[in-house]
C-alpha cells in the first residue's frame, strides 16, 4: 500500500491525500438465454441500464468503492442478453472533512471505476457474439447531487413525520 494510507496521521498533517490502491472486478455475469435462435430474430432491441454504488470503510483511511452496472437487452418481450459487472477499487482518502469525503467517494471514485466497468461490459457483449456496444459517459456529479437532494427531501419528510407524531 502507499504511504498516505499506511501513515494516515502524517498524511493528514500535510493536508488531504487521495490514492488509488487497487482496481479489480469483484463479480461478473453474462447470460444469453435465447442463443443461438436470437441471432436470427429481427427488430429493434430495447436496452435498460441500472447503476448502483456501494462504499465500505476497510481501514481508517481506506475505502472500497463498488460500482454495479446491469445492462439488459430485450427484443419484444424476450431477454437477448443480461450483463452484470461489479467493478471495485480500494481508495486511500485522508484529511478530508466529512462532506468532501462523501463527495470524493460518490463522484471521484466512480469516475475512476466507470471506464473499467464500461470496457468489461463491452468485452462480454462482444464475446457473447453480439455487436459491440459502448456505454455512454455518465455524469456522476449530477447523480451525486440528485442523491443529496433526495436525502435532504427524505430527511425533511422524516422530520415532518416525527413532529406530527409528537
Beta strand residue intervals within 32-165, DSSP E: 46-59, 62-75, 78-94
* Distance from chain centroid for Cα 27: 12
Instruction: Tell me the pLDDT of the chain averaged across its residues.
Output: 89
Task: Evaluate whether the domain defined by 3-159 bears CATH number 3.10.420.10.
Answer: yes
* pLDDT tens track for 26-43: 999 999 998 999 999 999
* pLDDT tens track for 85-107: 999 999 999 999 999 999 999 99
Q: Establish how many alpha carbons lie within 13 A of residue 20's alpha carbon, considering only the half-sphere containing its beta carbon.
A: 11
**C-alpha span between 32 and 39 (Å, rounded):** 11
Question: Full-prediction pTM beyond 0.95?
Answer: no
Q: Establish how many alpha carbons lie within 13 A of residue 147's alpha carbon, considering only the half-sphere containing its beta carbon.
A: 14
**Runs of H (alpha helix) within 8-97:** 8-13
Here the contacts of 102-110 (C-beta below 8 Å, separation 24 or greater) are 103/144, 104/18, 105/55, 105/63, 105/65, 106/53, 106/55, 106/140, 106/144, 106/147, 107/140, 107/141, 107/144, 108/18, 109/55, 109/63, 109/65, 110/53, 110/65, 110/67, 110/138, 110/140
Classify residue 89 as exposed, middle or buried by CB count within 10 Å of its CB (0-12, 13-18, 19+): buried
Q: Is the pLDDT of residue 162 over 60?
A: no
Name the phi and psi angles at 25, rounded to 5: -90, 125
Q: Is the pLDDT of residue 137 over 70?
A: yes
Domain boundaries in the chain? 3-159
pLDDT at position 160 is 54
Residue 59 burial (CB count, 10 A):
12
Q: Is the pLDDT of residue 45 over 70?
A: yes
pLDDT at position 154 is 86
Amino acid at each position: 500500500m502507499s504511504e498516505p494510507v499506511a501513515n494516515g496521521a502524517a498524511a493528514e498533517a500535510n493536508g488531504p491525500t487521495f490514492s488509488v490502491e487497487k482496481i479489480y472486478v469483484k463479480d461478473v455475469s453474462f447470460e444469453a438465454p435465447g442463443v443461438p435462435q436470437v441471432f436470427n430474430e429481427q427488430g429493434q432491441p430495447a436496452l435498460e441500464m441500472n447503476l448502483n454504488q456501494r462504499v465500505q470503510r476497510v481501514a481508517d483511511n481506506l475505502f472500497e468503492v463498488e460500482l454495479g452496472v446491469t445492462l439488459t437487452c430485450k427484443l419484444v418481450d424476450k431477454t437477448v442478453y443480461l450483463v452484470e459487472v461489479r467493478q471495485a477499487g480500494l481508495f486511500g482518502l485522508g484529511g478530508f472533512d466529512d462532506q468532501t469525503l462523501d463527495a470524493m467517494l460518490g463522484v471521484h471514485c466512480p469516475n475512476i471505476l466507470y471506464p473499467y466497468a464500461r470496457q468489461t461490459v463491452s468485452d462480454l457483449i462482444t464475446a457473447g457474439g453480439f455487436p459491440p456496444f459502448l456505454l455512454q459517459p455518465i455524469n456522476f456529479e449530477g447523480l451525486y447531487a440528485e442523491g443529496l437532494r433526495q436525502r435532504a427531501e427524505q430527511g425533511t419528510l422524516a422530520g415532518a413525520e416525527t413532529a406530527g407524531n409528537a
